Amino acid sequence: QFVESGGGLVHPGGSLRLSCEISSTAALYNYAVGWVRQASGKEREGVACIELGDGTTRYAHSVRGRFTISRDNAKNTVYLEMNSLKLDDTALYSCVGDAIENWVLGPGFDSAYATWGQGTQVNVSA
């Protein structure tokens, strides 16, 4: 369903772009695709999502202004551009699809109905 790529090791202040190829970016009503991360020992955090219907984007407070989510319908791909990375951004990032009402942008993402990719690791280290 979802295939992520683009994780890796980066220094603080650096940038990475994650990609999520999905089966279709057709305008499903009330459905959003985005990214959820989980750092070691911490709960899941909804990072950003984009509604497939109208392209509305939402962000967690912790990443607002640094991360940008976008989509390319021709490539059936959702991207997460991450800039000004911090040590606290280190986590496993998973591409997730779910109804918009189930999205939590911030700590505590815990939807039983979400579709998950396998995840890609992002390590921010000096």
CA distances from 121 to 10, 45, 53, 94, 107 (A): 11, 14, 29, 9, 18
Q: Is the pLDDT of residue 26 over 70?
A: no
Mean pLDDT, the chain, rounded, equals 94
Mean pLDDT computed over 16-42: 88
Given pLDDT bands bounded at 50, 70 and 90, which one contains residue 74? confident
Collect contacts of 47-50 with beta carbons under 8 A, ≥24 apart.
47/80, 47/93, 47/105, 48/80, 48/105, 49/96, 49/100, 49/103, 49/105, 50/78
pLDDT digits (tens, 9 = 90+) for 94-111: 999 999 999 999 999 998
